[in-house]
Amino acid sequence: MSIINLLIIAYRSLNKNKLRSLLTMLGIIIGVGSVIAMLAIGHGSRDAIEKQIAGMGTNVIMIFPGASMRGGVATASGTALTFKMEDVEAIRSQCPAVKYLSPVARAGGQVIAGNNNWNTQIYGVYSEYLDIRNLELQSGERYSENDEKRAMKVCIVGKTVSDNLFGEDVDPVGQRIRIRNIPFTIVGWLKPKGQAGIGSDQDDIIYAPYSTIQKRMRGSSTDVQQIYVSAISEEDVPLAQEQIDSLLRVRKNLSATEDPPYFIRTQTELTETLTSTSDTMIALLASIASISLLVGGIGIMNIMFVSVTERTKEIGLRMALGARGKDILRQFLLEAMLLSILGGMIGIALGVGASKALVHFLGWPVTITSYSVFLAFTFATIVGIFFGWYPAKKAANLVPMDALRFE
């Protein structure tokens, strides 16, 4: 018997019991939809992380203190060792692979302009920080090296800060604002960078000269919280990292084998670490979603057993009229495959729809890949064949005379 005839017979058999067939497919539908949606969430999160790291800048190296131990208890990050401005200048003068460099002093506070106010983050940095992070101005100019030396009260603002203080798309250059009641003049307005991918707004920021923030907002502290560095080229990043580490070990009297109380991180390391975590999460989500596919496969097996039992006389009659065992095997196997394939197709639509709904209603980063759709559909088909084989084999092995006498 031809495959086409067997497909017609299989379709008619499933069509006779529409509700039962739909309920049987439900496990496959939910399984395929879950796999696609979970993989879309996982891949979306990984893409968002990679986008955020790429948005950090070019050839970036971050240097920050680690955590100290007091009484066997780890304290907060940044307490193990403090950097000084002498360390910053030593890196600039003694590390030839370094192109740009800036210390970072972070502060937060209320910003006021007229009757409007906004709470945001203020970063004290050299103007070179904009080169390190690939930040561009859409109007105004950077503050100068002289502004840095004199601790001038000037700043550069992001779009979110500007919009909330002066209105949508109003050029704030030349305006005066108060940060913690300290008057600042806006000299630059940054081009928008948008969301970082995980909810943080890269435009909700103010940059000011490092010396200004350090002296006026961090009191008497002379410690450098963090150092940002940009290597000459991407190929020079490992060399710059090595040069910085060697220099800091000498300055902090650390041996070559001693674990340093600071961290030097590059974009590559951050990407590898975070994407590795994301890949683990993706595998976990896919594994959990795949369980429903297995449950759906068991449902197919159960219904196929019921179908074989209900149609035992039909099987015996067909065999008596000349149908071979392999024809019966193909018929029931095709029925199982049809259930899994149709369920898989509906599941794909469900998974894609659910993924788009997550983007629309929750704003989650979601990436639907053709690989995940193919994987889910293929797995559903294999599940249908695997769990449909045994009932089909049982039907094929029936003895015609016993089948005809079955009650």
- pLDDT tens-digit readout, 54-70: 666 668 888 988 754 44
- Give the whole-angstrom CA distance, residue 395 versus residue 304: 10
Cβ-contact 117, 110 below 8 angstroms: yes
Structure letter (DSSP) for residue 204: S
- Give the whole-angstrom CA distance, residue 299 versus residue 28: 9
pLDDT at residue 39, as a whole number: 83
- Give the whole-angstrom CA distance, residue 265 versus residue 131: 18
**CA quadruple 270, 207, 240, 248: dihedral sign:** negative
Residue type, 334: L
pLDDT at residue 71, as a whole number: 43
Domain ranges of the chain: 3-51+273-404, 82-260
pLDDT at residue 19, as a whole number: 75
- Counting every residue written for the chain, the total comes to 407
The strand pair at 137-140 and 262-266 is best described as: unpaired
Query: Of the candidates 61, 57, 103, 60, which has an alpha carbon nearest to the alpha carbon of residue 84?
Result: 103
- Give the whole-angstrom CA distance, residue 27 versus residue 366: 24
Spell out the residues 6+ positions from residue 141 whose beta carbon is closer than 8 angstroms to its own. 187, 188
**Phi, psi angles (nearest 5°) of residue 82:** -115, 145
pLDDT-above-70 percentage for the chain: 77
Spell out the residues 6+ positions from residue 334 whose beta carbon is closer than 8 angstroms to its own. 3, 6, 7, 10
Judged by DSSP in three states, 364 sits in coil
- Give the whole-angstrom CA distance, residue 347 versus residue 100: 52
Cβ-contact 102, 117 below 8 angstroms: no
Cβ-contact 229, 101 below 8 angstroms: yes
pLDDT at residue 79, as a whole number: 47
Spell out the residues 6+ positions from residue 390 whose beta carbon is closer than 8 angstroms to its own. 301
Per-residue pLDDT of the chain (407 residues; tens, 9 = 90+): 566 666 666 666 666 777 777 777 787 888 888 888 888 888 787 777 766 666 666 688 889 887 544 444 444 444 456 788 899 999 999 999 999 999 999 888 899 998 999 999 999 999 999 998 888 999 999 999 999 999 999 999 999 999 999 998 899 999 999 998 899 999 999 998 876 545 577 899 999 999 999 888 877 677 888 999 999 888 888 899 999 999 999 888 888 778 888 888 887 766 666 667 777 777 777 777 777 777 777 777 777 777 766 666 666 666 666 667 676 777 777 777 777 788 888 888 888 888 888 888 877 778 888 878 888 888 778 877 777 776 777 666 666 665 555 55
pLDDT at residue 308, as a whole number: 67
The tens digit of pLDDT for each residue in 23-58 reads: 777 878 888 888 888 888 887 877 777 666 666 666
Spell out the residues 6+ positions from residue 71 whose beta carbon is closer than 8 angstroms to its own. none
Judged by DSSP in three states, 379 sits in helix
Query: Of the candidates 210, 226, 236, 222, which has an alpha carbon nearest to the alpha carbon of residue 263?
Result: 226
Structure letter (DSSP) for residue 80: S
pTM, entire model: 0.62
For the chain, what is the total number of helices (H) and then of strands (E)?
Answer: 13, 12
